Structure 1
Amino acid sequence: MSKRVAIAFTGPSNSGKTTLVEKIARVLIQERKVAIIKNDPKDKAEFDTEGKDSYKFSQTGAEVVVTSPTRTTYFSQREKTLDEIVEMIADFEILLVEGLKTLPLPRIAVFRNTMDESYFECSEAIAIDDTIDLSEYAVPDHIDILDLNDTMQIIGWIDAHAKNI
């Protein structure tokens, strides 16, 4: 099995986490197998359409897998640990995790307009744009500062800091 690494992204709602993960994945997917896990702490994500078979099946509470010629979708009614999810996906080289602050992964906090300093204690880097005035914040010395709009810089940081899993 080839080397597998993981990195996590965190930050307040509407900070640009999903956009950043999407931009990074589009670059990485050209040369590597990429997997993404997104945490949905408020249970807001919608994956299915009411009335369709997959919706009816998933409403039973069963673990449901829907296959088609182009994709396989897995609907689970049980919370999974990171290890269980990694085992399930198995075939990837880099895992991008959005959210899940409690996971012991290197973490990039994403901020626009304002920074929430409570994220500093669980982050190794911050990705910001020019809407943030760093002089207004006490960023700890151990936190790397990345340009939110420089995807290649962020990928370089990921390659240097991602955790083997």
Structure 2
Amino acid sequence: MAETSITSPHIMQIVGYKNTGKSTLIAALTRSLTFAGRKVAVIKHDGHDHFEMDHEGTDSYSFAQAGADAVVVMSEKRTALIERQAIPLEDMIKYLSRYDWILIEGYKQAPYPKLVMVREEKDLSLMETLQDAVGIVSWLEHDKSESMKDSEGLVRHSVHEAEDIARWLVSLECHEEKRRL
């Protein structure tokens, strides 16, 4: 097993338009990285602010309804924290610093390496608005994706190659460690 970072986690963003398979890929990468002995944290951006983590009828819901700004539920094996405030992405990354990998879904303009999900040819237009893209994960067949070859220095994977993508991520650990020295 490769030695992982002690100072900070490795970070990879998975970005793309709606219904391109971001969550599915992140789940597959999480399984593979965990199987490879890595501790993985996932941050998902909800651009519409409509998620509900707690539900009516629970004690934690009643605490929040009573006005608590933060509710923490802890057990022997899990901890859940629900706060009534936005936390900057940087602060959450610092909070999760003990993990080997942080996979981020969304936050397209954040300054981290990105894998861009492409379901259709038109999805490639997203590349024009992004910085720090390091690869493309595509649903397109190779003969349909000729324009992808124009992008210099990007790795390319099929959406069906999640284990290969995870192996590629693990291979990046060594390169990142050498850069930090």
Q: Is the 8 A contact 1:120 1:139 kept in 2?
A: no
Unaligned runs of 5+ in 2: none
Among 107, 111, 114, the residue aligned to 2:114: 107
Q: Aligned residue for 1:62?
A: 69
Specify the alignment match of 2:94 in structure 1.
87
- CA-based RMSD of the aligned residues comes to 2.6
Query: Structure 2 residue aligned with 1:45, among 44, 51, 65?
Result: 51
| Separation (CA, whole Å) in 2 of partners of 1:119 and 1:160 | 26
Corresponding residue SS for 2:20: coil
Alignment correspondent of 2:169: 158
Instruction: Return the letter of the residue paired with 1:142.
Output: G
Q: Measure how far apart 1:138 and its partner are.
A: 7.4
Check if 1:2 corresponds to 2:6.
Answer: yes
Confirm whether residue 126 of structure 1 aligns to residue 136 of structure 2: yes
**More helix by proportion, 1 or 2?**
2
The alignment partner of 1:15 has SS state of: coil
Quote the Cα distance in structure 1 between the aligned partners of 2:78 and 2:70: 17
- Count residues in correspondence: 165
Moved more, 153-162 or 36-45: 153-162
Closer/same/farther in 2, CA of residues 138 and 44 from structure 1, 3 Å limit: farther
| Larger Rg over CA atoms | 2
Q: 1:129 Cα deviation (Å)?
A: 2.3
Structure 1: distance between partners of 2:99 and 2:167: 19
Structure 2 distance, partners of 1:149, 1:86, is 28
Instruction: Tell me which residue corresponds to 2:85.
Output: 78
Identity of aligned residues (%): 27
* Letter matched to residue 2 of structure 1: I
Is residue 28 from structure 1 mapped to residue 38 from structure 2 by the alignment?
no
Amino acid in structure 1 at the alignment position of 2:50: K
TM-score (normalised: structure 1)? 0.85
Give, in angstroms, the shift of residue 61 of structure 1: 5.3
TM-score (norm 2): 0.78
| Local SS of the residue matching 2:169 | helix
- Alignment of 1:17 onto 2:22: yes
Q: For the Cα contact (< 8 Å) 2:117–2:137, is it kept in 1? A: yes
Deviations 1:22-43 (A, max 9, x none): 0000111120111110000111
- Structure-1 separation of matches of 2:77 and 2:39: 16
CA distance in 2, matches of 1:51, 1:129: 42
Shift of 1:131: 5.8
